[in-house]
Structure 1
Amino acid sequence: MTEPPVDELVHEAELRRRASEDLQRNIASIYAVARDPDGLIEATTTASGELKSLRLRPEAMHRGVRWLSETIMATAHQAAEFARQRSLNQLALVLGDDAARQLEGAMGIAPARAAGWDVIGDRAPAAVQAPAAVPVAEEEDDDIYSFDPSSLRSDR
């Protein structure tokens, strides 16, 4: 096996150095949005699972308490998985693919790999299920069924 040219190694090290300068800020600002398959519930979370917002369409209220609670939990979990994957992607830019693979071995398989999202065309995923939620772009509207936990006062 031949070693890569020195200038290629230097270029790669410089890219990693630049990426590491803003790593903590970039990862802290990562969030993801997911919707349930019917589009009735939308959750926005951070990679750590912190719920930033929850939107419910009026039709969701008529599905029953059990369905509502299970779907909210599943949708929020899916959003956190999307955010966690984005964080791992940022980390891989700094550490490189080999170190990111080792980290994945220590902390568990990355969400994209576990769900088969990162499957390359020439290899089939093992028992892949479609994600329970679909990532969506952030949109602003004044839905009366929206809930933003950051609007709660902490002094109560």
Structure 2
Amino acid sequence: MTEPPVDELVQQAEQRRKASEDLRRRVASIHAVARDPEGLVEATTTASGELKSLRLQPAALHRGVRWLSETIMATAHQAAEFARQRSLNQLALVLGDDATAQLEGAMGIAPARAAGWDVVGDRTPSATPASAPAPAPEEEDDDVFSFDPSSLRSDR
């Protein structure tokens, strides 16, 4: 196996240096949105799983506490997985393919690969697993209202 030319290695190193300059800011600014399959619950999170917003359709409040709590948790988890995948994509630009593969081996399979989002070819990947929430469109503020998670506290 032959080594790549030095010029190519220098060019790759320069691309990674440029990509790493503002990596922290780019990763910190990543947010992702997910919506449950019925479109009643929408969650926005960071890659670390911090819930930034939660929006509920009025009909969600009539589905029962158990359904609502499970759906909120699943939707927020899915949004965090989307955000985590986006942050891994940014990190891969800096690390390169080999280091990214090693990182994935150490921390577990990336969300996109686990869900089949990265499959190419004659297989049609599902955007999300059958029971997982679907990603939400970035707009649609009709009939959706902000929700105060503290209203779910059990002491009320």
TM-score by length of 2: 0.85
Q: Name the structure 1 match of 2:26.
A: 26
Whether 1:93 and 2:93 are equivalent positions in the alignment is: yes
Equivalences, count: 147
Distance 2:137 2:98 in 1: 31
Of 128-137 and 29-38, the range deviating more from structure 2: 128-137
Q: Aligned Cα RMSD in Å?
A: 2.3
Change (3 A) 1:131 1:9: farther
Percent of matched pairs sharing the same residue: 82
CA contact (8 A) 1:45 1:52 kept: yes
Deviation at 1:132, TM superposition (A): 1.1
CA contact (8 A) 1:115 1:130 kept: no
Deviation at 1:146, TM superposition (A): 1.2
Q: Name the structure 2 match of 1:117.
A: 117
CA contact (8 A) 1:52 1:148 kept: no
Q: Name the structure 2 match of 1:147.
A: 147
**Given residue 85 of structure 1, which amino acid in structure 2 is its aligned partner?**
Q
Change (3 A) 1:3 1:131: farther
Distance 2:47 2:117 in 1: 17
**Given residue 79 of structure 2, which amino acid in structure 1 is its aligned partner?**
A
Distance 1:50 1:131 in 2: 22
User: What do the CA deviations read for 1:95-126 (whole angstroms, capped 9, x no partner)?
Assistant: 0011011111111111011111111216798x
TM-score by length of 1: 0.85
Unpaired runs of 5+ residues, structure 2, are 150-156
Unpaired runs of 5+ residues, structure 1, are 150-156
Distance 2:110 2:21 in 1: 23
Deviation at 1:49, TM superposition (A): 0.3
Of 88-97 and 6-15, the range deviating more from structure 2: 6-15
Alignment of 1:47-62 (within 5 A): 47-62=47-62
Distance 1:95 1:123 in 2: 29
